[in-house]
């Protein structure tokens, strides 16, 4: 499957990649109260997104605190509070409902994180948001691994966005 998917990615122009099934990850890689970060194109901007599992259900949000604008996990790798019942910004402690993204803190009471539409099927989690697509960085890492030479070739061939992890 990885070879076939890599072939599709390598032979299609960038504009057509957004129409492919947008696989985020395998379900087994997202444990209860676990998280996965991935990159999306949202409103023509490269944004980090956050995939979580809470009470058996997967949810996805743009990884941006409503108050500080920083990623929820900017200072700590955890996004759930100590009780495991709330998403919390590690920078400022603002808390959110993991099922709805609604803010519980007085600063942003009632406001919500930007939710992304996803679904799980046959052990795989997919993005199905009409206004968002996985960034090419994510597609390439998922389909062909972290081979820097291959990523650089595809980046140059299709002007893909590439982000260097620190």
In terms of pTM, does the model score above 0.75?
no
Residue identified by tokens 């599709």 is 8
**Cβ neighbour number for residue 107 with a 10 Å cutoff:** 12
28's tokens = 């087994």
- Contact, 90 vs 108, CB < 8 A? no
Residues of the chain with pLDDT below 70 are 1-21, 136-166
How many angstroms separate the CA atoms of 67 and 164, rounded?
Answer: 26
For residues 111 and 140, what is the distance between their CA atoms, to the nearest angstrom?
34
Domain boundaries, the chain: 23-135
Q: Looking at the structure, give the CATH architecture of the domain made up of residues 23-135.
A: 3-layer Sandwich (2.102)
Q: Do the strands 132-134 and 35-42 form a parallel or antiparallel pair, or are they unpaired? A: antiparallel
- Condensed to tens digits (0 to 9), the pLDDT of residues 29-66 reads 999 999 999 999 888 888 999 999 999 999 999 999 99
């Amino acid at each position: 499957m990885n070879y076939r998917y890599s072939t599709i990615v390598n032979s299609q122009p960038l504009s057509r990649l957004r129409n492919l099934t947008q696989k985020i990850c395998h379900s087994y890689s997202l444990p209860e109260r676990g998280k996965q970060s991935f990159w999306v194109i949202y409103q023509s901007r490269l944004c980090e997104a956050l995939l979580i599992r809470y009470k058996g259900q997967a949810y996805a949000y743009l990884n941006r605190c409503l108050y500080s604008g920083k990623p929820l996990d900017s200072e700590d790798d955890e996004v759930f509070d100590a009780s495991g019942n709330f998403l919390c910004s590690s920078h400022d402690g603002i808390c959110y409902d993991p099922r709805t993204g609604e803010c519980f803190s007085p600063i942003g009471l009632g406001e919500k994180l930007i939710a992304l539409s996803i679904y799980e099927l046959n052990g795989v989690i997919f993005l199905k948001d009409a206004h968002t697509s996985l960034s090419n960085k994510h597609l390439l890492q998922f389909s062909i691994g972290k081979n820097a030479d291959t990523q650089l070739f595809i980046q140059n061939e299709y002007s893909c966005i590439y982000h260097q992890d620190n």
